């Protein structure tokens, strides 16, 4: 009952990234879906509990350029005006499917506002972020009917990222009404897969052929362990595995160099018709794949919000500590960044130790407004420190299996303080850097 109430309050977890995408301005891609949590402390937490692990080595001064910082590229690509043309001569060089450990990225909103997209990609490049996660919502491209494509926003987003030298991870999901009638329900933040798999594969065929070599990675769907992402039906790992395999086969047949990432799973403790714990979903997904993920994905996608815990705190510590586990002494190990390690153990046990993990969403919130999230809010200084320390922890402890990591977010220009995602972002909607962005920029990479 506790978890059911939590999902009712939150609409479920974190980010991306998080709620699903809007299909027209002012907002665009998915918000982070929040985990099943109950608001137990309405005031933000500025400092970690004294029982938290020892803080790692001192962070660099965020105002002092680091010797490890990426050198800025002096050339700034022009802001495209009018219809965009993608020239074959501008396709980026082919990169390996095995990522460096880690690689650094952020989720951004490149779809509706070209000037904001241009600004944010420049800021990302300056900060040494070499990946951008952007949702390519099916309904935004082929929304008016089968075969009726509108590539305008997608072309511009791809062109800009290519010009700035930033790799694209395209999150593909969100079927249009004609392909998934009755699934899209904005009031319930609900969407779902196509009723006819061939319609989905036809969309992927058109998308990948258009952007072959320009989009480095594709993430197939989002948070399928939530009913709201699965047409309101109970999560079904076997059905998702079938979707993933068909998508992998289609994309690889067109662009064998593309990296296929499984959907980010939300770290929820709830188990009911509305949600399935990520560990259970992943185990059942492997069951459906008969313990052989070859031909299904190149890297496992996960979501890793930090909640109230410092990034170094282990799930074993969190589950024992009521200050961090949301009052869940059994299932509360999901409330920390290092819950990723629980999922990694499943990969290893199922014979997938050689595959990498991509963290599609991670971060901490500073939210003093929304009571569902304020129990695990931190102050701005802590927000920036924790994000940098999460990158550092991954580099020091998860190499070589950790791949790209996407912090949330470069803020959507239309967010306000009343928007929950506003409080996770590393910039403000007008592009003003927050402390987290400054620290990331100064962080050795």
**What are the domain boundaries of the chain?**
2-41+60-68+109-442
In CATH, what class is 2-41+60-68+109-442? alpha beta
Residues sharing a CB contact under 8 Å with residue 104, sequence separation 6 or more, in sequence order: 128, 129, 130, 131, 391, 404, 405, 440, 445
Cα–Cα distance, 218 to 135 (Å, whole number): 10
- Chain position carrying tokens 């470069």: 410
Q: 226 to each of 233, 236, 403, how far by Cα in Å?
A: 9, 9, 24
C-beta separation of 227 from 271 below 8 A: no
Predicted pLDDT at 78:
85
Which token pair is 343? 């999922």
Q: Which of 111, 27, 30 is nearest to 361 (CA)?
A: 30
Q: 195 to each of 20, 147, 192, 442, how far by Cα in Å?
A: 19, 16, 9, 47
pLDDT tens, 62-105? 344 444 444 444 588 888 877 888 988 889 999 999 999 999 99
C-beta separation of 336 from 315 below 8 A: yes
> Residue ranges of the chain with pLDDT lower than 50?
1-73
Predicted pLDDT at 29:
35
pTM of this prediction?
A: 0.85
Instruction: Please classify residue 82 by burial: count the beta carbons closer than 10 Å to its beta carbon, then call 0-12 exposed, 13-18 middle and 19+ buried.
Output: exposed
């Amino acid at each position: 009952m506790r978890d059911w109430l939590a999902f009712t309050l939150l609409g479920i977890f974190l980010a991306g990234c998080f709620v699903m995408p809007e299909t027209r301005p002012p907002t665009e891609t998915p918000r982070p879906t929040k985990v099943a949590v109950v608001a137990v402390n309405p005031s933000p937490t500025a400092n970690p509990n004294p029982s938290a692990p020892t803080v790692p080595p001192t962070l660099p001064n965020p105002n002092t350029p680091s010797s490890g910082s990426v050198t800025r590229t002096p050339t700034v690509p022009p802001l495209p005006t009018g219809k965009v043309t993608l020239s074959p001569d501008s396709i980026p060089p082919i990169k390996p499917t095995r990522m460096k450990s880690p690689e650094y990225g952020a989720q951004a909103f490149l779809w509706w506002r070209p000037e904001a997209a241009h600004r944010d990609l420049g800021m990302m490049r300056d900060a040494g972020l070499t990946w951008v996660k952007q949702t390519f919502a099916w309904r935004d491209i082929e929304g008016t009917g089968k075969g009726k494509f509108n590539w305008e926003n997608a072309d511009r987003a791809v062109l800009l990222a290519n010009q700035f030298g930033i790799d694209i991870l395209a999150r593909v999901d969100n079927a249009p009404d004609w392909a998934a009638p009755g699934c899209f329900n904005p009031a319930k933040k609900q969407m779902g897969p196509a009723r006819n798999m061939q319609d989905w594969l036809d969309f992927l065929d058109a998308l990948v052929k258009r952007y072959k070599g320009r989009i480095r990675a594709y993430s197939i769907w989002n948070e399928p362990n939530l009913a709201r992402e699965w047409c309101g039906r109970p999560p079904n790992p076997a059905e998702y595995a079938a979707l993933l395999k068909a998508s992998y086969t289609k994309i690889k047949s067109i662009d064998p160099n593309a990296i296929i990432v499984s959907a980010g799973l939300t770290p929820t403790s709830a188990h009911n018709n509305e949600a399935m714990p990520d560990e259970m979903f992943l185990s059942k997904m492997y069951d459906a794949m008969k313990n052989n993920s070859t031909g299904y994905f190149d890297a496992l996608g996960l979501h890793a919000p930090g909640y109230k815990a410092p990034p170094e705190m282990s799930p074993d510590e969190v589950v024992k500590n009521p200050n961090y586990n949301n009052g869940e002494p059994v299932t509360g190990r999901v409330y920390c960044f290092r819950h990723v390690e629980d999922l990694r153990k499943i990969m290893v046990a199922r014979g997938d130790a050689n595959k990498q993990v991509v963290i599609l969403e991670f971060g901490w919130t500073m939210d003093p407004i929304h009571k569902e999230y304020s129990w695990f809010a931190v102050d701005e200084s802590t927000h920036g420190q924790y994000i940098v320390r999460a990158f550092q922890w991954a580099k020091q402890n998860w190499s070589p299996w950790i791949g790209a990591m996407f912090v949330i977010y470069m803020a959507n220009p239309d967010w306000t303080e009343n928007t929950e995602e506003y409080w996770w972002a590393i910039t403000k909607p007008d592009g003003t850097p927050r402390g987290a962005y400054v620290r990331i920029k100064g962080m050795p990479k």
